[in-house]
């Protein structure tokens, strides 16, 4: 239960080392969504501070630029169009064929 503490979803302290291209691909297949120009991650269950940590981590570790996108009453992470190709190159080898629609432009 690495991402849960006292029944609440939270970021583990060693997330930097856990966020590999493979884990990023799994995250994309699970919580990712492709709107054609960007890739969005449904991270609404994390706090705003944790969402900002995820954005910073993606920028620091992989040079991926992103922002938080309002989704009803919460936010989700959106990888900018300018970083989408870099993200796809990074995770593409790990995306299973049935989930490729999450990284390919419609």
Task: State residue 105 phi and psi, 5-degree precision.
Answer: -70, 135
- pLDDT band at 106; cut points 50, 70, 90: low
8 Å CB contact between 103 and 88: yes
**Which one is the CATH code of 18-94: 3.40.50.2300, 3.10.28.10, 3.20.20.80, 3.40.50.1000?**
3.10.28.10
Match 């040079």 to its residue by tokens.
63
Give the residue extent of every domain in the chain. 18-94
Task: State residue 56 phi and psi, 5-degree precision.
Answer: -65, -40
Residue-wise pLDDT tens digits, 55-80: 999 999 999 999 998 888 889 999 99
Share of the chain above pLDDT 90, in %: 72
Q: Is the pLDDT of residue 91 over 90?
A: yes
In 3D space, the residue among 15, 19, 25, 17 whose CA is nearest the CA of residue 90 turns out to be 25
In 3D space, the residue among 27, 30, 24 whose CA is nearest the CA of residue 90 turns out to be 24
Residue-wise pLDDT tens digits, 13-30: 899 999 999 999 999 999
């Amino acid at each position: 239960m690495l991402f849960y503490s006292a029944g609440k979803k939270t970021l583990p302290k060693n997330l930097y080392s856990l966020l590999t291209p493979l884990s990023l691909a799994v995250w994309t297949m699970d919580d990712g969504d492709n709107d054609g120009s960007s890739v969005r991650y449904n991270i609404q269950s994390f706090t705003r501070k944790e969402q900002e940590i995820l954005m910073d981590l993606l920028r620091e570790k992989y040079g991926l630029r992103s922002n938080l996108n309002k989704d009803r009453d919460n936010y989700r992470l959106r990888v900018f169009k300018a970083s989408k190709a870099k993200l796809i190159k990074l995770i593409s080898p790990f995306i299973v064929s049935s989930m490729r629609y999450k990284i390919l432009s419609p």
